[in-house]
Amino acid sequence: MKQFTYIRATSVDDAVAACAAHRDAKFLGGGTNLVDLMKMGVEQPLHVIDITRVPLNKIEEHAGGVRIGALVPNSDAANHALIRERYPVLTEALLAGASPQLRNMATMGGNLMQRTRCYYFYDPTYAECNKRVPGSGCAALLGVNRLHAILGASPACIATHPSDMCVALAALEAVVQVQGPRGPRSIPMAEFHRLPGNTPQIDTNLQPGEMITAIDLPGLTFGRRAHYLKVRDRNSYAFALVSVAAVLDLDNQGTIREARIALGGVAHKPWRVPAAERSLQGQKAGEAAYTAAARRILAGAKGYSGNSFKIPLAERAIVRALNVAASKQV
Ligand code: SF4
């Protein structure tokens, strides 16, 4: 591992100031992704700012919804009464991720910052990876790409975002609170992560020196009719081939008032198609409507040598997730 200086911050202001004062610094929370990447030589920060003593570990009611501090462990958020009661799709998504040990260490802010699990990105012996070495090419285009994107990819990168949590946050229209050298600002989930385009090395729309302080979940009257479905190669400790966060608002006759559908494992960011969700409004809940919406979401999907199976798999997963969500008693 390349040598770095270690700085401990005890407040948000300290952490932001330390980052502004040191070129090429990274914030360290649970370290479940960053430390691995540093050991492999993929991330080589000159300075590591430990933010684990910064008091950002509360879950509390806020503005009609719930605010989750950036340093709350994934396991605490998953099991908190407010989250279980009001946003069960987030609990399901968090518990589908990683392993119990990792969920105890990983923070909510760190989960947002997870980097892709593309094999070529993690292995510096491969020369071609535009995300690791901009301009070097993309080994996955003609290589092993079973886990890779079918939507929103570019010739520069076909990686997927690995998080389960972020898929649920997208469906819930969460807002990420950050603080940086220019003060605090809010970033809607839909704008937090980026598509690869020509700059796949940049995963998010955070500005230099900005630190995540909290995740806000808006008040939602229909959050209980929801389901997170994760399809993966084994039933535990595996990244999603395809995942779906589905949230439905139905009236007493079973007509859809509102639908939220976010996909994971298929793109460089959680994938939503608002027009497809709107097309469900006023329709009778059922497979015909769900299938039409799924096809609309997947219009334009493109498979590569090893992952074309994801297109029909995603269609079936969307229908199943909506069916399960609709069956929930609220
Ligand atoms: Fe690198 Fe992206 Fe290509 Fe993977 S898909 S090798 S992360 S450029």
| pLDDT-based confidence at residue 193 (cuts at 50, 70, 90) | very high
- pLDDT at residue 330 in the model: 87
Does residue 269 register a pLDDT over 90? yes
Same fold, 1-54 and 226-327: no
* CATH number of the domain located at residue range(s) 226-327 in this protein: 3.30.390.50
Cα of 312 vs centre of ligand 1, distance in Å, is 23
pLDDT digits (tens, 9 = 90+) for 200-247: 999 999 999 999 999 999 999 999 999 999 999 999 999 999 999 999
Ligand 1-lining residues (CB < 6 angstroms): 116, 118, 120-121, 129-131, 138-140, 157-159, 200
- pLDDT at residue 298 in the model: 98
Cα of 83 vs centre of ligand 1, distance in Å, is 34
pLDDT digits (tens, 9 = 90+) for 148-185: 999 999 999 999 999 999 999 999 999 999 999 999 99
- pLDDT at residue 1 in the model: 85
Q: How far apart are the C-alpha atoms of 307 and 144, rounded to whole Å?
A: 9
For 238, phi and psi rounded to 5 degrees?
-145, 150
Share of the chain above pLDDT 90, in %: 98
Cα of 110 vs centre of ligand 1, distance in Å, is 21
Cα of 122 vs centre of ligand 1, distance in Å, is 9
pLDDT digits (tens, 9 = 90+) for 54-84: 999 999 999 999 999 999 999 999 999 999 9
Q: Where are the domains of the chain?
A: 1-54, 226-327
Query: Which tokens is 291 given?
Result: 């299938």
Closest ligand 1 atom number to CA of residue 132: 1
Cα of 151 vs centre of ligand 1, distance in Å, is 15
Does residue 329 register a pLDDT over 90? no
For 197, phi and psi rounded to 5 degrees?
45, -135
Q: Which residue, chain included where needed, has tokens 């793109």?
A: 267
CATH for 1-54, among 3.30.565.10, 3.30.43.10, 3.40.50.720, 3.10.450.350? 3.30.43.10
**Range in 1-5, 240-244, 316-320 the model is least confident about:** 1-5
Task: Calculate the average pLDDT of the chain.
Answer: 97
End-to-end CA gap in the chain: 51
Query: Which tokens is 125 given?
Result: 């012996």
pLDDT digits (tens, 9 = 90+) for 109-128: 999 999 999 999 999 999 99
- pLDDT at residue 301 in the model: 98
Q: How far apart are the C-alpha atoms of 31 and 47, rounded to whole Å?
A: 14
CA pseudo-torsion sign 239, 267, 155, 145 = positive
| pLDDT-based confidence at residue 139 (cuts at 50, 70, 90) | very high
Q: Whose alpha carbon is nearest atom 3 of ligand 1?
A: 138
Longest Cα–Cα distance of the chain, Å, equals 63
| pLDDT-based confidence at residue 34 (cuts at 50, 70, 90) | very high
Q: Which residues pair with 256 in a beta bridge?
A: 250
